[in-house]
Structure 1
Amino acid sequence: MDKSAALLLALAAMFLWGSWANTLLLSRIRFELYFLDYILGHLLAGCVLLQDAAPSLQVAAEDPSGAVVFMISALAGLLFALGSLLAVASIDLAGMALPTIVLLGVEMALGVPFLLLVEGWGSAQHMILAFAGVIAVLAATLLDGWCHWSLQKDCTPEEQESQPLCFGFTSSQFSSLSFWSFRATSVAAGSFARSLNSTAVTFLTHGSALPVSSVGSQQVLTAASGTIRAHKQGHLGLSFAAMGGLCFAIWPCISSCVEGQTQWGNAFTTQLNASAFFFIYALGALLAALLLLPPLCRWPLHSGVSLNFWANYMELRAWNHFLGLSGGFAHGCGSLLSLQAGRVLGNAVAMSITRCQPLVCATWGVLIWGELQGAGTKTSCLFASMLLAFTAAVVLFLIAGLDG
């Protein structure tokens, strides 16, 4: 595979990462109930290239260090699953804008240097381009938060009163496309997107919870009461966002290590190819989901009510399971394509391009979910600036890939 083909794979991965969240919006269920099918979708994606993974898995299984390689690869999947659940909890506790900034900021500010440290810094030009891309992403993320706050001011007084108060800021509706995708634009959802998931959440407004009914097995998420408690939850939410970003920053480094893509040579006597790593990674994520989801539903990290995971999961419609599998399959294929591209470009470049998926998700949000409804000129300009900053980041990472 040449560099041009690898760059196309990374761009395709970015598109898939930015598109899977549409299935979650359509499913209209609590994230924990969606998450198991989502992870199973990752495993299905891993099975697509199982024929390519099988020889590498067999060699590793016969090597004395193979067990360690398998355990470390599974740990990467656990980190991904844990990071996803922490991201959801953080945005429920602290609103949209700040956790989005913290989550993506930590992931990019630490993830790219970590990968460059593991894989090698490369030429001076390559390093400068990579860090310039990181700066562009951080700028886009700040513009994202500014755009969100500006949109709140564009709302009518009636709309502002209906917005939830959390951590001293008026957070966007829990139902927006950007919330469900964790790292996407935090512009508040339009009326259609809000109504789509409004039955999933109750929000704190002027110190009282708004009663909202559940749909089927979908449980009502309730907001905390009291300003002091809201502030404490906000701080906890930002901590969860930072921990989630750290999980997302670390797991690609594990991929580089087990695939032998380090500046120190092979870390183990046996290595896995990208397909084999992803298959074990997906198994690790599935194991983490099976272990974490029941207790996290019983004792939620966020403000949601306690529920019996398996009882509610079994009550889901076939359509909900299909959407979860489809979303996980799309995201898993994106991860797999990014890892394949990383074999040529290095994971530092390939994963950085893929992480610019808010560019895609923001486009879906505007074109399909009406996320800029009611936006003024200033908000629209901020949104356009955010898109330009993400586009600049993608271009910088593309040039870095060609230079490396």
Structure 2
Amino acid sequence: MYIVENKGGAIALILFAILCGGSFAPAMSFMERRGRLPQHIYLDYSIANFLVAVLIAFTVGQIGHGKVGMPNFFTQLSQDNWPSVLIAMAGGLALSLGNMICQYAWAFVGLSLVNIIVCCMIVVLGTTVNYFLDGRINRAEFLSPGVACFMVAVVLSSILHSSNAQDKKEKLSSLGVDFTMRFFLSEEQKKGYCDENTASNLAKPGTAEFLAEIEKRRSIKAAGTSTTRGLAVVLFAGLCFFVFSPAFNLATNDQWHLLKKGVPHLVVYTAFFYFYLSGFVITVCVNIWLLYRPIAGVPASTMEAYLRDWNGRHWALLSGLLCGFCNGFQFMGGQAAGFATADAVMASPLICTIWDIILFGEYRRSSRKTYFLLTSMLTLFVVAIGVLLASAGHRKTA
């Protein structure tokens, strides 16, 4: 079993986690905007997600000999560690619920804003809890300014969202039509299929025609819906996300002393396996139910239609792999350097916004005010990453 124990290795893992975490959401949103049903997307995503946990547990969690107080993966499966297992599974349920909610929230208030609000809630609330759970091993003189940078970034993101929404409204008004008009789905879309090849036929990114075409083709119909409702959904998702990192921390370090004397703590790989096992079960059950009882104006589907829908499946699987490795690297780095520092992964909106611009043409042809706010927000995220990583501590493993 391989355990990351030095600060340098932990920081490298956290940086990789930021890259993966900022890339998985655009991959999911990419297919939803092209008409693939969110239920189909999330079922594929969940399968790939769980495969990452299995892969990590069976490789770095099992290869070689265990260490003192750190048994290999298979050894831990038979130990009396159920209190920690249940906490890990609760964290997985919270993360999966948050991810499912976010998939719909992206359509209502935008990919960038959703990720920024959610990530800032995680950093402010989750980092504070993790700091105290970890016995204050992180450097508070860097941790506090890093969290402050996130807070300023979320304020700027709110202003940016308002400015960008106004820019879009002005662009769409040039079409001379009501943007809240009802768009009719094609028969292909009703069955949950999408055609990636038609992406090249879209109007130029940033134009009114481009925005209208996106709304027409996407599977979740958000035009004309209440932004307030969307923000409320985002805040609920943020509360779900806030729980998962402290829960994983508790599962691996047993700060509440729930395990019997002599029972080793869950190693990060075993906790990660149970974490994603619970998430896999709940997401598969919920999304199969949503196939037949959809919400948010999404067409109904069937298991047969899902199994036959291969258009864009590779994007959903890629998204699940990226998210899985993001969380895996985050937890591995957090176990060595402190979970409060590992929450720097929530700076992934830096990467997400870049993908948002590249894939969806977001912020293109916008006003100077929007460009200024966008630059300021991204700069603050870069600063926040650097400051939070500087707060890294060192957890004693023996």
Displacement of 1:294 after TM fit?
A: 2.5
Displacement of 1:192 after TM fit?
A: 8.6
Greater mean deviation of Cα atoms: 89-98 or 285-294: 89-98
Query: Does the CA-based 8 Å contact 1:119-1:261 persist in structure 2?
Result: no
What amino acid is aligned across from residue 240 of structure 1 in structure 2?
A: V
Displacement of 1:11 after TM fit?
A: 0.6
Matched, 1:62 2:78: yes
| Residues 172-227 of structure 1: per-residue CA shift (max 9 Å, x gap) | xxxxxxxxxxxxxxxxx94499959946x5xxxxxxxxxx467xxxxx434587xx
What amino acid is aligned across from residue 282 of structure 1 in structure 2?
A: Y
Q: TM-score, normalised by structure 2?
A: 0.77
Q: How does 1:380-391 map to 2 (within 5 A)?
A: 380-391=371-382
**Using a 3 Å threshold, how does the CA distance of structure 1 residues 35 and 403 change in structure 2: closer, same or farther?**
same
User: Which of 308, 316, 341 is 2:333 aligned to?
Assistant: 341
User: Which of 238, 257, 264 is 1:245 aligned to?
Assistant: 238
Query: Does the CA-based 8 Å contact 1:17-1:330 persist in structure 2?
Result: yes
Measured in 1, the distance between the counterparts of 2:212 and 2:48 equals 22
Matched, 1:396 2:387: yes
Measured in 1, the distance between the counterparts of 2:12 and 2:92 equals 25
Q: TM-score, normalised by structure 1?
A: 0.76
Query: Does the CA-based 8 Å contact 2:137-2:338 persist in structure 1?
Result: no
Matched, 1:320 2:312: yes
**Using a 3 Å threshold, how does the CA distance of structure 1 residues 164 and 149 change in structure 2: closer, same or farther?**
farther
Displacement of 1:332 after TM fit?
A: 0.7
Residue identity over aligned pairs, in percent, reads: 21
Measured in 2, the distance between the counterparts of 1:138 and 1:26 equals 28
| Residues 20-72 of structure 1: per-residue CA shift (max 9 Å, x gap) | 234324433232211111121112222332233345443333323x3333333
What amino acid is aligned across from residue 44 of structure 1 in structure 2?
A: L
Matched, 1:48 2:55: yes
**Using a 3 Å threshold, how does the CA distance of structure 1 residues 224 and 148 change in structure 2: closer, same or farther?**
closer
**Using a 3 Å threshold, how does the CA distance of structure 1 residues 192 and 107 change in structure 2: closer, same or farther?**
farther
| Residues 109-137 of structure 1: per-residue CA shift (max 9 Å, x gap) | 211112123222346xx224222211211
Residue number in structure 2 paired with 1:256:
249
Matched, 1:109 2:100: no
Structure 2 residue runs of 5 or longer lacking an equivalent are 63-70, 181-203
What amino acid is aligned across from residue 155 of structure 2 in structure 1?
A: L
Q: How does 1:356-395 map to 2 (within 5 A)?
A: 356-395=347-386
User: Which of 136, 141, 148 is 1:135 aligned to?
Assistant: 148
Residue number in structure 1 paired with 2:66:
none
Calculate the aligned-residue CA RMSD, in Å.
3.2
Query: Does the CA-based 8 Å contact 1:192-1:369 persist in structure 2?
Result: no
If asked which structure has higher relative contact order (CA below 8 Å, sep 6+), I would say 2
Measured in 2, the distance between the counterparts of 1:392 and 1:25 equals 27
Query: Does the CA-based 8 Å contact 2:84-2:254 persist in structure 1?
Result: no
Query: Does the CA-based 8 Å contact 1:72-1:254 persist in structure 2?
Result: yes
What amino acid is aligned across from residue 72 of structure 1 in structure 2?
A: I
**Using a 3 Å threshold, how does the CA distance of structure 1 residues 120 and 361 change in structure 2: closer, same or farther?**
same
Residue number in structure 2 paired with 1:332:
324
| Residues 285-311 of structure 1: per-residue CA shift (max 9 Å, x gap) | 11011221123344445x223513524
3-state secondary structure, aligned to 1:37: helix
Q: How does 1:196-207 map to 2 (within 5 A)?
A: 198=213, 201=215
Measured in 1, the distance between the counterparts of 2:170 and 2:394 equals 52
Query: Does the CA-based 8 Å contact 1:90-1:236 persist in structure 2?
Result: no
Residue number in structure 2 paired with 1:308:
301
User: Which of 7, 16, 20 is 2:20 aligned to?
Assistant: 16
User: Which of 266, 270, 274 is 1:280 aligned to?
Assistant: 274
| Residues 294-353 of structure 1: per-residue CA shift (max 9 Å, x gap) | 23344445x223513524312311x52222111111111111111111121111111x21
Matched, 1:7 2:11: yes
Work out the number of aligned pairs and report it: 352
Greater mean deviation of Cα atoms: 83-92 or 189-198: 189-198
